[in-house]
Structure 1
């Protein structure tokens, strides 16, 4: 039986315009290329876990619009259940409008329907959460909703991974209900600044890209070696890592084994263009590990 991963989080449509230079205020410039891709941290991580063989339940909200219908269709194509992805009528599907120029990104995120996922919604899907092997959370839905999701999972002794991105200070009530915390180096520094880690006693997993991943557990720290590849597109590398970690922990792997595997998932993902399109299969990850170990 495949491991059961429930991902609770954001689903966006990414609208990407590439141009030679960014427009000045009030100026219009001609773009070179436009692409539209499903995205959002929750959705990206769900796709990663599903490609690796997990049975993924996505819980979230989209608008009753063309983008929402496209996202639901894409979920189904990736083999994920759409039972708990509802379309809401009072706002649009979340979007990220991205202008790419001179090697830099300017991004405007409109959360839209992602902010319609409420704590009450999580109580209503309690049986699904209870039936999971692991729950994966991020911070692109309201903090009260994230806290409610962790609370429901803890009630049924289901482990919770929180990827604290995009970073914001975490309430103590949430910190106490997290089993695995996965910041990157920048988020880790902010957590120290906010003294959030003073209240966290469970595994802390700090991702550092090709430099590996630092794991702090029971007062001891160690580094799990990363994988060096020639990157093509680093978009979604962190989401790939978290999806891989969730899939492997849900299957019963030890923490060190799961982190090592997740490092390979992230490394393999950056060798392809696109966040979701770059998410590797289990066989692709094993091939990379065999070649480099």
Structure 2
């Protein structure tokens, strides 16, 4: 089974589940709280590890207590991470409302751009490289090296920003968010923008679509949608590394993300198989 390398953003999520929304006064009761690994690349790597895959991460953190927490938490959850170290670790306050929707208030930290020592070894050892656009310098280096080796490259496209579009043009697979699809003019427009890549779009409660096909989201009550797209991308890359075709990998990722939203945690592969087989 091939290793998946995720390149990009890691942060600390401080998740507050609130009893009512929107706020009706100066204080709103919190029904649950937890600290969690956040960021597209980091959450994707956690999904890979939870599914039983070999997960690696290239990301950034600060030389501060939250940075140490990230290192320890990722290691405990089965992700081998290499970090470029700056001054302050990114932290996000995440408010999760009763219907499972989330509102994120990110502090971006104080980070450098240089890649960590040993980054090229991680690319060389990966079967699939996945990247977000939050650290474009590292994503470009990783994608170019992976392209030279003929490895699949999955782009988590969540905006129409120039950096994100540039990186997507280096990818073999572009899985866009609904927001990016809307900003860029729809699925056909995405296909035209990236003619050499397999293109798909995640549409939240409406499932996932690709040219010629669509899968509905799982009919489950959402508990927490925080990181659902990141989990989807990690599961998609993991399935590609296991030898699934693109459409099969999308179906796997759709099931993984759906169960995650309903339960608030990434399911095991055994749980996913059970759901997919009825």
TM-score w.r.t. the length of structure 2 is 0.86
1:196/1:224 CA distance change after superposition, 3 Å: closer
* Residue 233 (structure 1) aligns with: 224
Structure 2 residue runs of 5 or longer lacking an equivalent are none
Task: Give 1:165 deviation, angstroms.
Answer: 2.4
Q: Is the 8 A contact 1:122 1:148 kept in 2?
A: no
Task: Give 1:171 deviation, angstroms.
Answer: 6.1
Task: Give 1:144 deviation, angstroms.
Answer: 3.3
* Residue 133 (structure 1) aligns with: 127
**In the alignment, does 2:273 pair up with 1:282?**
no
* Residue 8 (structure 1) aligns with: 7
Q: Is the 8 A contact 2:2 2:127 kept in 1?
A: yes
* Residue 261 (structure 1) aligns with: 252
Q: Out of 112, 134, 146, which is 1:116 matched to?
A: 112
* Residue 204 (structure 2) aligns with: 209
1:166/1:12 CA distance change after superposition, 3 Å: farther
Structure 1 residue runs of 5 or longer lacking an equivalent are none
1:32/1:210 CA distance change after superposition, 3 Å: closer
* Residue 60 (structure 1) aligns with: 59
**In the alignment, does 2:110 pair up with 1:95?**
no
Where do residues 78-89 of structure 1 align in structure 2 (5 Å cutoff)? 78-82=77-81, 84-88=82-86
Task: Give 1:147 deviation, angstroms.
Answer: 2.3
Q: Is the 8 A contact 2:102 2:224 kept in 1?
A: no
Secondary structure in 1 matching 2:85: strand
1:93/1:149 CA distance change after superposition, 3 Å: same
Task: Give 1:225 deviation, angstroms.
Answer: 4.5
Q: Is the 8 A contact 1:161 1:181 kept in 2?
A: yes
Q: Is the 8 A contact 1:38 1:71 kept in 2?
A: yes
CA RMSD of aligned residues (A): 2.7
Moved more, 205-214 or 248-257: 205-214
Task: Give 1:11 deviation, angstroms.
Answer: 1.1
1:87/1:122 CA distance change after superposition, 3 Å: closer
4+ residue runs over 4 A deviation: 17-24, 99-106, 170-173
**In the alignment, does 2:174 pair up with 1:191?**
no
* Residue 200 (structure 1) aligns with: 194
